[in-house]
Amino acid sequence: MNILSNLHSSLKLAASQPPSTKEEIQELLEFSPISVPPEYLEIIQQGSELEISVNLGSRGYGFIRIYGAAGVIEMNKIYNVQKNLKHVLAIGDNEGGDMLVLAPHASPSGVYLNPMSCLSDMEDATFIASNLTELLVDGRNLDRVF
């Protein structure tokens, strides 16, 4: 399934940069402490540095940003994600101080929202969805992202 072509009705792709290159993806695969999910790889082969507008109803709009391969490496290094949190990979943010992290070894495993100020502890993280399809296509727990 093409996730970006099947976004939930409250989501709209607002901005996108060119897709991650094969070389960038290979660097990401070598860098990542986790097995990078195929659905994330599918997304970044269609576009990178995605900004997805979220209609929050009476609360207005928010944005989910999904980094491309180079952006993931850069942001994980800048915020020392792997030094502070083992076995996770930050892949985006909510443009409000929280990172979206893939945490396959957490319980439950899946996509979490973790405050950038508390990246040393998954106890402050909020479970969002089991995978990116649940979040972006099914719209599961979109309200928890903001």
In this structure, which amino acid lies at residue 11?
Answer: L
**DSSP states of 39-70:** HHHHHHTT-EEEEEEEE-GGG-EEEEEE--HH
Residue 85 has pLDDT above 90, yes or no: no
Averaged pLDDT, 14-34: 98
Asked whether residue 33 is assigned to any structural domain, the reply reads yes
Asked whether residue 64 is assigned to any structural domain, the reply reads yes
Domain that holds residue 56: 4-136
Asked whether residue 108 is assigned to any structural domain, the reply reads yes
Residue 86 has pLDDT above 90, yes or no: no
Whole-number pLDDT of residue 62? 95
Whole-angstrom distance, CA of residue 48 vs CA of residue 65: 9
Where would I find the H helices in 5-144? Answer: 22-31, 38-44, 69-78, 81-84, 132-136
Predicted confidence band at 124 (pLDDT cuts at 50, 70, 90)? confident
- Residue 61 contacts residue 55 (beta carbons within 8 Å): yes
Q: What is the pLDDT of residues 125-146, one digit of tens each?
A: 999 999 999 999 999 999 999 9
Whole-number pLDDT of residue 10? 97
In this structure, which amino acid lies at residue 105?
Answer: H
Decide: helix, strand or coil at residue 14. strand
Residue 122 has pLDDT above 90, yes or no: no
Overall domain count for the chain: 1
Asked whether residue 145 is assigned to any structural domain, the reply reads no
In this structure, which amino acid lies at residue 98?
Answer: D
**Quick one: residue 123, left, alpha or beta (phi over 0 = left, psi -120 to 50 = alpha)?**
alpha
Query: What is the reported pTM?
Result: 0.93
Asked whether residue 132 is assigned to any structural domain, the reply reads yes
Asked whether residue 76 is assigned to any structural domain, the reply reads yes
Decide: helix, strand or coil at residue 36. coil
Whole-angstrom distance, CA of residue 95 vs CA of residue 103: 20
Averaged pLDDT, 57-71: 96
Where would I find the H helices in the chain? Answer: 22-31, 38-44, 69-78, 81-84, 132-136
Q: What is the pLDDT of residues 28-58, one digit of tens each?
A: 999 999 999 999 999 999 999 999 999 999 9
Query: At 13, which CATH number?
Result: 3.40.1580.10
Asked whether residue 11 is assigned to any structural domain, the reply reads yes
Predicted confidence band at 83 (pLDDT cuts at 50, 70, 90)? confident
Asked whether residue 143 is assigned to any structural domain, the reply reads no
